[in-house]
Structure 1
């Protein structure tokens, strides 16, 4: 079990590492956005199939997804499969900078409002604790460490949850990098699912 960390702390990196991660994010996001939309949709379908294999039955489970942003795999069609299989979908919501996310239940058609970066989030609903957290990747390394957007939200959130969910990072195989130079606050994903494989 990961040691608990102060979920309100400011995560600090050396200037050199912060600069490197920023450059890697920009490069990887640009590459992701350059993939044609039809190709990304086909890749997302393969990722959804990989998630089915990783998770198995959805019945009785709360699965946190995300609203796609800047070329991330669009798993919104897969939400319907989760719900049809007896699962509950939740979306992450930023409530305050440098604090853990909360997860609100969501079903297609529920009212949404603009959250951070104008990403739609459920407009209401009591927070729930997910059994499975699906985390979009900007990059990932062979040790299943995730390079995100730099806000530290997922690391704070995973450290703050009362139980250990199954944490699955999702992205494209082209987002693999040799290392993210993991720091003490970085929490590895349990699994990584891409359009080409699951690890």
Structure 2
């Protein structure tokens, strides 16, 4: 497997890099701007640290981790026949699940990729099968060449970090959460990432939506009950 730490032609729908700018995501401002400033600054630092750590992992080790994650994902998802599974394109050390997409198709399932459709708008999901043509979307993100919008049954999303309640630290701005909130029916949402990316909390905000579970190379993390909701740094 080629190392994909540095994008050549395409960037990744996996990372949702368009989340970086909150204005692009179209999110309202937080109620407590000072608290959000603290949380945002902390998240930015943790994001940079965690990405640097996973990029330092040898490509062969990351490949083995991705394979272990794929095995657990297939076990958790179960029968895929006739179901739509949305995955992503790997980038900057994220688990490579392209082989999993092929396995899903071989078992009678359908696979999809996320597509950016415009400023301040949720992502769309379009059917795509491994080997099918890709086109360049916004920011050169690979998207299916043939538009085939769908509503996925399962959305697999990479995480930069996560906490025991399965809140996801992404690339900032909350675009992914906005997408989940806009879907007509909530799909099963599974985060994937390294076991070393777990944090005590990501300091979830009102717009954050937890994953149903996080799958790592070490196993499955299911949401733990929160003793209290932490909304700001103390």
Same-fold call, TM > 0.5? Answer: yes
Are the counterparts in 2 of residues 140 and 179 from structure 1 also a CA contact under 8 Å?
yes
Give deviations 1:113-163, integer Å, cap 9, x for gaps.
Answer: 233453322123121000000011000000000000113221011101111
Match in the other structure for 2:141: 119
Are the counterparts in 1 of residues 26 and 119 from structure 2 also a CA contact under 8 Å?
no
Give deviations 1:48-87, integer Å, cap 9, x for gaps.
Answer: 0110111011101000000011110000011111000110
Are the counterparts in 2 of residues 173 and 195 from structure 1 also a CA contact under 8 Å?
yes
d(CA) in 1 for partners of 2:109 and 2:37?
Answer: 43
Match in the other structure for 1:178: 200
1:80 aligns with 2:98: no
Give deviations 1:7-52, integer Å, cap 9, x for gaps.
Answer: 8434546211111111111100011111111100000000001101
What secondary structure does 1:38 align onto? helix
Gapped regions of structure 2 (runs ≥ 5): 1-24, 222-234
Match in the other structure for 1:64: 86
Residues 148 and 126 (structure 1 numbering): CA distance in 2 closer, same or farther, change over 3 Å? Answer: same
d(CA) in 2 for partners of 1:36 and 1:15?
Answer: 34
Aligned residues: 193
CA RMSD of superposed structures (Å): 1.5
Pair member with larger Rg: 2
Gapped regions of structure 1 (runs ≥ 5): 1-6
d(CA) in 1 for partners of 2:195 and 2:141?
Answer: 24
Are the counterparts in 2 of residues 11 and 185 from structure 1 also a CA contact under 8 Å?
no
1:97 aligns with 2:115: no
Runs of 4+ in 1 over 4 A off after TM superposition: none
Among 67, 71, 77, which residue is 1:55 paired with? 77
Q: What is the TM-score when the length of structure 1 is the normalising length?
A: 0.92
